[in-house]
Amino acid sequence: MNINFSALPLSELSPGQRGSIYAVLGPGRGVQLRLSALGLRPGAVVQVLGYGPGRGPILLEVNGTRVALGRGVARRILVIPEKN
């Protein structure tokens, strides 16, 4: 598998930006399965809608569903940002 160097942690995207998920790095099986059940799995296109204040969570849309993720989880999801 080629390593894609343009991949960023999801938490680095700015509000409004879209990207496709490149990898979900755990932590652990339970979290990966839960994220996968919400549609957050490699290949899925996500759009960041906004951030909570402070070190607050990230609000994003995937497959027409809105999902809130803590920063800790969002850091472990790598995305390839869409060029706009």
Helix (H, G, I), strand (E, B) or coil at 35: helix
Shortest reach from residue 38's CB to other proteins, in Å: 6
Six token digits for residue 83: 């060029």
**Contact (CB, 8 A) for 38 and 67:** yes
Shortest reach from residue 24's CB to other proteins, in Å: 8
Shortest reach from residue 61's CB to other proteins, in Å: 9
Six token digits for residue 71: 């920063």
Residues that bind other proteins (CB under 8 A): 27-39, 41-42, 49-57, 59, 63-73
For the chain, how far is it from start to end, CA to CA, in angstroms? 26
